[in-house]
Copies of this chain bind each other. A is one copy, B any other.
Amino acid sequence: MNETGDFDFYPAEHSISFSSTDGEKVEIEWSDGHQSKFNFLWLRDNCPCCVHPDTMEPLFNVASIADDEFISSVSTSEEGFLQVVWSKDSHISHFHPGWLRANCFLDASNRFTPKAIAWDSKTRKEPKRFNWDEIISKTETEREWLFSLVEDGCSITQNVEPSKDGLIRITERIGVVRETNFGLFFNVEAKNGPDTAAYTEIELPPHTDLPTREYQPGLQLLHCLKNSVKGGESILVDGFRVAEEIRLNHPEAFDLLTTIPWDFGNRSTVSDYRWRAPMINVGLDGEINEVRVGNFLRVPLQVDFDLVEPMYKAYKLFETLNQEDRFKLSFRLNQGECLIFDNRRVLHARNSFDPSKGERHFCGCYIERDELWSSIRMIDRRNRQKIINSSSNE
């Protein structure tokens, strides 16, 4: 039997000094003085033996908790587990002390809280750069590399083989590639018969990719295979930073941009993706959690006549700010460099270039953001496993 009820590892750094219950909650004092409080329903739900032995997924269903269920008694076992005796089904739950402490909401150190740290051209000159060889040889660097995408929303990976295979190797370190109507991997170069502006040589204003879709892709990877043209510099803008600027200085525009949907759509002979959504999305916690921007990826706005003018004015402000130098990172992506950015936060743009002299060829793809977070957690889990293994070898 697995002691914790899941596949993770829980080094037991502290032991239970004291536990008590009033039937509806369990209070615990730990060897380091920390105090925990667990509700009885939460404990019943998380009983580690009530899971499927193979999948570790809960078998116990919350709907089956009797209305008069409560805790009869608690104690600490010889192995240091919290033992909870239930009143109704006389079940006994055994909670591993490491697991219990790791899931104590009152211990702030437990919470994995990825948080965007907004930037502009004053606070950041270029995306952070990482060396591919170091990423694949040092777990610590790999974690920093992944985590920088959570905090900064962008990074450049250097010394990657300038080929599609080089890009594929990067994706394997992050997660499953999200295919779209542009394919699993797409080639960004000036083409004959382009089906979107990216595949021309023209300037691209700051935008997110696929605002035309219900779910804009999370991470975008743009890997430079060749870049010998004049022009074509890459530009990034932290959309969250600009949105905060509007919230602070133009509250009426912010209100319009966060509550009234715009109409986005692709232009194509073979598909007709459309989505209606506000350009700035604010989460339940009041934090900005998504921007949706693309001047050339819109279709005619469909709203009440009286809203049209104020909405255009708010949008013009947003678009104008997105193009201001004070928010822009501008740099040249060179052969063997892969730019990765959070497409729901960081707008990307490029200067026009001259395709007649030289070549500019990027290979790109999308990966959902939560793949990144899963990869970070797996690194942390393996580190915890090492701690347990080394302590059991002592």
Kindly state the separation between the CA atoms of A196 and B305 in the bound complex, as whole angstroms: 51
Q: Does A179 contact B (CB under 8 A)?
A: yes
Report whether B54 and A300 are in contact in the complex, using a CB–CB cutoff of 8 Å: no
Contact with B along A37-81 (1 / 0, CB 8 A): 101011001100001101111110111010000000000000000
Checking B25, B179, B368, B381 against A213 with a beta-carbon cut-off of 8 angstroms, the contacting residue is B368
Knowing A54-B200, A309-B41 are in contact, say whether A315-B377 is a contact too (CB < 8 A).
no
Contact with B along A247-290 (1 / 0, CB 8 A): 00000000000010100000111111111001000001000000
Q: Does A18 contact B (CB under 8 A)?
A: no
Which residues on the B side are within 8 Å of A181 (C-beta)? 175-176
Q: Which of A117-125, A150-158, A316-324, A329-337 contacts B (4 or more CB under 8 A)?
A: A316-324
Closest partner residue, chain B, to A184 (CB atom): B179
Which residues on the B side are within 8 Å of A57 (C-beta)? 196-197, 267, 296-297
Closest partner residue, chain B, to A36 (CB atom): B305
Knowing A179-B179, A295-B58, A319-B62 are in contact, say whether A105-B374 is a contact too (CB < 8 A).
no
Which residues on the B side are within 8 Å of A179 (C-beta)? 176-179
Which residues on the B side are within 8 Å of A200 (C-beta)? 52, 54-55
Copies of this chain held together in the complex = 2
Report whether A105 and B305 are in contact in the complex, using a CB–CB cutoff of 8 Å: yes
Report whether B370 and A316 are in contact in the complex, using a CB–CB cutoff of 8 Å: no
Report whether A52 and B197 are in contact in the complex, using a CB–CB cutoff of 8 Å: yes
Checking B202, B215, B272 against A368 with a beta-carbon cut-off of 8 angstroms, the contacting residue is B215
Q: Does A387 contact B (CB under 8 A)?
A: no
Q: Does A364 contact B (CB under 8 A)?
A: no
Knowing A178-B179, A197-B57 are in contact, say whether A374-B272 is a contact too (CB < 8 A).
yes
Report whether A308 and B374 are in contact in the complex, using a CB–CB cutoff of 8 Å: no
Kindly state the separation between the CA atoms of A218 and B181 in the bound complex, as whole angstroms: 16
Report whether B55 and A316 are in contact in the complex, using a CB–CB cutoff of 8 Å: no
Report whether A274 and B373 are in contact in the complex, using a CB–CB cutoff of 8 Å: yes
Kindly state the separation between the CA atoms of A193 and B52 in the bound complex, as whole angstroms: 11
Checking B56, B196, B275 against A55 with a beta-carbon cut-off of 8 angstroms, the contacting residue is B196
Report whether A378 and B6 are in contact in the complex, using a CB–CB cutoff of 8 Å: no
- 18 A-B Cβ contacts within 8 A? A37-B305, A41-B312, A55-B195, A57-B267, A59-B296, A61-B319, A63-B295, A63-B323, A65-B312, A103-B300, A105-B302, A213-B368, A214-B370, A272-B374, A272-B381, A273-B370, A273-B373, A273-B374
